[in-house]
Structure 1
Amino acid sequence: MAKSREELNNLARQLKSLHVPGQPLILTNVYDACTASVVAGLPSTKAVASASFAIAASIGIEDENTMSLNDNLAGVRRVAAGLRNAGKADALPLTADLQDGYADPGESVRRAIEIGVVGANIEDVDNSSQPAKLRPLDEAKSRIEAAVRAAREAGVPDFVVNARTDVLGFDGTIDDVVERGRAYLDAGATTVFVWGVRKKVITEQEVKDMATRLDGKLAVLAQGCTVETLKQAGVSRISVGPTLLLRALKFIQNEATAILEAKEWSM
Structure 2
Amino acid sequence: MSTSHSSTSPNSRNTLALTLKSLHQPGTPLLLTNIWSALSATAIAPLPQTRAMATASAAVASSYNLTDDDLTLELNLQAVRLIAPIAQAHGKPLTVDFQDGYGDRLEEGIRELIAAGAVGCNLEDWGREVEGAEGKGGLYEIERACERIRRVLATAREMGVPDFVVNARTDALLAGCSIDEAIARGKAYLDAGAHNVFIWGGSKRGGMSGEEVKKAVEGLDGQLNVSLKLGVEGALSVKELGEMGVARISVGPRLLMRAMEMVSEEVRRLHTEVGV
TM-score by length of 1: 0.93
Amino acid at match of 1:234: G
Q: CA RMSD, aligned part only? A: 1.6
Residue 184 of structure 2 corresponds to residue 179 of structure 1? yes
Say if 2:128 and 2:137, in contact at 8 Å, map to a contact too: yes
Partner deviation per Cα, 1:209-264 (whole Å, 9 max, x = no partner): 10111011111101331111111111100000011100011011111112233369
Residue 213 of structure 2 corresponds to residue 207 of structure 1? yes
Q: Could you tell me which runs of 5 or more consecutive residues in structure 2 were left unpaired when the two chains were aligned.
A: 1-5, 230-234
Amino acid at match of 1:214: L
Aligned to 1:92: 92
* SS of equivalent to 1:170: coil
Aligned to 2:253: 242
Say if 1:194 and 1:219, in contact at 8 Å, map to a contact too: yes
Partner deviation per Cα, 1:22-63 (whole Å, 9 max, x = no partner): 0111000011111101111111110000111111110111x2
Aligned to 2:54: 49
Q: Could you tell me which runs of 5 or more consecutive residues in structure 1 were left unpaired when the two chains were aligned.
A: none
* SS of equivalent to 2:102: coil
Aligned to 2:86: 82
In 1, Cα distance between equivalents of 2:193 and 2:108: 17
Distance 1:132 1:263, change over 3 A: farther
Alignment of 1:138-217 (within 5 A): 138-200=143-205, 201-217=207-223
Mean Cα displacement is larger for which, 124-133 or 183-192? 124-133
Amino acid at match of 2:21: K
Residue 229 of structure 2 corresponds to residue 225 of structure 1? no
* SS of equivalent to 1:167: coil
Count of residues in Structure 1 that have an aligned counterpart in Structure 2:
260
In 1, Cα distance between equivalents of 2:111 and 2:181: 30
Amino acid at match of 1:229: E
In 2, Cα distance between equivalents of 1:83 and 1:227: 23
- Which of 258, 262, 265 aligns to 2:273? It is 262
Amino acid at match of 1:67: L
Mean Cα displacement is larger for which, 105-114 or 8-17? 105-114
In 2, Cα distance between equivalents of 1:158 and 1:175: 29
Mean Cα displacement is larger for which, 195-204 or 41-50? 195-204
Offset of residue 106 of structure 1:
2.5
Amino acid at match of 2:98: L
